[in-house]
Amino acid sequence: MHVVLLSGSPAARSRTEVLLDHVRQRLEVQQVEVSLLRVRDFPAEDLLHARFDSPAVQQLQAVVASADGLVVGTPVYKASFTGALKVLLDLLPERALAHKVVLPLASGGSPAHLLAVDYALKPVLAALKAQEMLSGVFAVDKQIAYPEGDRPVQIDDELRARLDEALEQLGAALARRPQPIDPNLLNDRLVNARWSI
Ligand X SMILES: Cc1cc2nc3c(=O)[nH]c(=O)nc-3n(C[C@H](O)[C@H](O)[C@H](O)COP(=O)(O)O)c2cc1C
Q: How many residues bind ligand X (CB under 6 A)?
A: 16
Minimal distance in Å, beta carbon 126 to ligand X?
22
| 11 sits near ligand X (criterion: CB under 6 A) | yes
Q: Rounded to whole angstroms, how far apart are CA atoms 138 and 142?
A: 12
Q: Is 98 in the site for ligand X (CB under 6 A)?
A: no
Q: Looking at the DSSP assignment, which residues form a beta bridge with residue 101?
A: 69, 132
36: exposed, middle or buried (C-beta count within 10 Å: 0-12, 13-18, 19+)? middle
With CB under 6 A as the contact rule, which of the stretches 56-64, 106-114, 146-154, 184-192 interacts with ligand X? 106-114
Q: Which of 69, 104, 108, 171 binds ligand X (CB under 6 A)?
A: 108
One symbol per residue from 126 to 155: x for binding ligand X (CB under 6 A), - otherwise; what is it? ---------------x--------------
Where in the chain does DSSP place strands (E)?
Answer: 2-7, 33-38, 69-75, 101-108, 132-133, 137-140, 144-145, 154-155
**Binding-site ranges for ligand X (CB under 6 A):** 9, 11, 14-16, 75-79, 107-110, 113, 141
